[in-house]
Every structure is written in C-alpha cells, then in structure tokens.
C-alpha cells in the first residue's frame, strides 16, 4: 500500500484512533532510513541516499501540519530522562 493512500490523522474518527496514518508511516520510514544510513552498513561508505530519504520523509510529516515538534520545556524533558550525573 502506498503511504498516500493512508488516512491523515485528522480524518480518523474516534473509533479509528490507533490505526496507521500517513504521518505514522512517514515517521517509520524516516526512522528506518536513518538506521539504514547509520546502522550496520555504515562501513560500506555508500552515498547518503538513505539520509536523503529520512530527511524527505520527515519534511513531509512536518509539512502535513498534522504534527509538530515538541518544543515545550525541552530541557526539562531531557533532564528528566537523562539526568546529569
């Protein structure tokens, strides 16, 4: 199935919440592409094709205006999950 055929988050009814959306599929695509770029294949030194795919998928998620980056109290959240030692 193509990502463009999936519903947008805003189009889901309350009963459909939790179903796969375009944004979720694009976010997963970006994460997998980052892994492919910097995972076990990093030794091959191939062109950054997966990095480009990750950036493109991430930009599509942000351009959809369905999601936003978390910016509120970012340092507090970081310090909560990764406290200084």
| Per-residue pLDDT tens digits for 39-58 | 655 555 665 778 888 899 99
Q: Which domain range does residue 45 map to?
A: 3-81
Can you give 46-65 as a three-state secondary structure string?
Answer: CCCHHHHHHHHHHHHHHHCC
Listed range (1-10, 11-20, 21-30, 69-78) with the worst mean pLDDT:
69-78
Rounded distance between C-alpha atoms, residue 85 and residue 69, angstroms: 27
Q: How far apart are CA 40 and CA 25, in angstroms?
A: 23
Hey, how many other C-beta atoms are within 10 angstroms of the C-beta on 48?
10
Predicted TM-score (pTM) of this structure:
0.69
3-class SS of residue 77:
helix
- How does the average pLDDT of the chain come out, rounded? 79
The number of folded domains in the chain is 1
């Amino acid at each position: 199935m193509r990502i463009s055929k999936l519903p947008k988050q805003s189009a889901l009814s309350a009963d459909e919440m939790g179903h796969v959306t375009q944004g979720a599929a694009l976010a997963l695509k970006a994460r997998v592409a980052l892994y492919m770029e910097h995972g076990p294949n990093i030794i091959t030194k191939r062109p950054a094709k997966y990095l480009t795919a990750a950036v493109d998928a991430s930009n599509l998620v942000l351009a959809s205006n369905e999601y936003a980056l978390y910016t509120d109290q970012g340092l507090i959240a970081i310090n909560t999950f990764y406290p200084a030692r």
